[in-house]
Amino acid sequence: MKIRVLLFLLVSVIITSTGCKTSPDTLTPVASHPGIEGFDWVNDPLVVSINWNELNSGMGDDTLKLIRDDLYDYFHLQQTGDSIDYLDHTQHYLPFFRNDTVSIARDDSISRAWRDRGYYSSVKTVDVFYASPWITEDSQRVAIIGYDLLMYFHFLENFEGAPQGMEKLIKQRFQNSNTAYHEGYELTEDGDTVLVRHFKTQARIGMLITSPIDSLHFSFISETAGKASNTDIMMGKENIMTLLRDKHKALKNNP
């Protein structure tokens, strides 16, 4: 559920190592992006979409579109660097986590501290290709979606450490992902030279969803977090296993 904060904690493993900066032998002109001061979030690079050509879905299209819209808010609001946005982002947590205001304040503080030290992550694309049927549980319903994720892990010029040491940690977090590291000097539109360092990760992952019976407000938790032992206080453990198993079968039969 808390991808950003988790990876802020992981990067602390490598912060004590000092990385070497690449010499600016070759400059590549680039447009403004999150690694450059003054990035305009109005031009949001995040795209959340539904892959209608490959979609395997057990729920209605209209409901899936509403989930897509809430999923956009979930990812966008957690990566603007604004504390109010982050609080709005948590409105898409499961109630158990949403009501934990102490942890939310702590996580926001940690994420802003890492951003100040030159590290943050950003989700670029989320392309939904699978959606299960709903399972009803008392006053809520639960489901799971599968999506293709494109995500970057940025290390700005003021970051002190060796970003390469994070590759293994990213691959452990996103199993079977395609992860590559890029480092080099780039030329901005203003003619300034900036050191750009990032990991680019592409992965096929899943997200568990809950929604009250009488509402179309959707809450999300990653399928990895959904396997944790304490998840059964938020949704039925058997239902979680059913959703994970059915998703695996569907993708195995139609990868």
Q: How far apart are CA 55 and CA 64, in angstroms?
A: 11
Q: State the pLDDT confidence band at 44, using cuts at 50, 70 and 90.
A: low
Percent of the chain with pLDDT over 70: 80
Q: How far apart are CA 141 and CA 253, in angstroms?
A: 26
**How big is the CA angle at 46 (ends 45 and 47), to the nearest 5 degrees?**
115
pTM across the whole model: 0.79
CB 54 within 8 A of CB 148: no
CB 249 within 8 A of CB 184: no
Lowest mean pLDDT among 27-31, 161-165, 208-212: 27-31
The radius of gyration of the chain's CA atoms, rounded to the nearest angstrom, is 19
pLDDT digits (tens, 9 = 90+) for 138-157: 889 999 999 999 999 999 88
pLDDT digits (tens, 9 = 90+) for 49-91: 999 999 999 999 999 999 999 999 888 888 877 778 777 888 8
Q: How far apart are CA 176 and CA 182, in angstroms?
A: 19
What pLDDT, on a 0 to 100 scale, did the predictor assign at position 229?
58
Lowest mean pLDDT among 24-33, 50-59, 83-92, 191-200: 24-33
Question: Does position 95 have pLDDT exceeding 60, yes or no?
Answer: yes
State the DSSP code for 18: P
What pLDDT, on a 0 to 100 scale, did the predictor assign at position 254?
62
Q: State the pLDDT confidence band at 20, using cuts at 50, 70 and 90.
A: very low
The residue ranking higher by pLDDT, 252 or 211, is: 211
Q: Give me the mean pLDDT over the 94-103 stretch.
A: 78
**How big is the CA angle at 210 (ends 204 and 211), to the nearest 5 degrees?**
135
B/e letters for 31-62, b = 16+ CB within 10 Å, e = fewer, are eebbbbeeeeeeeebeebebeeeeeebebeee
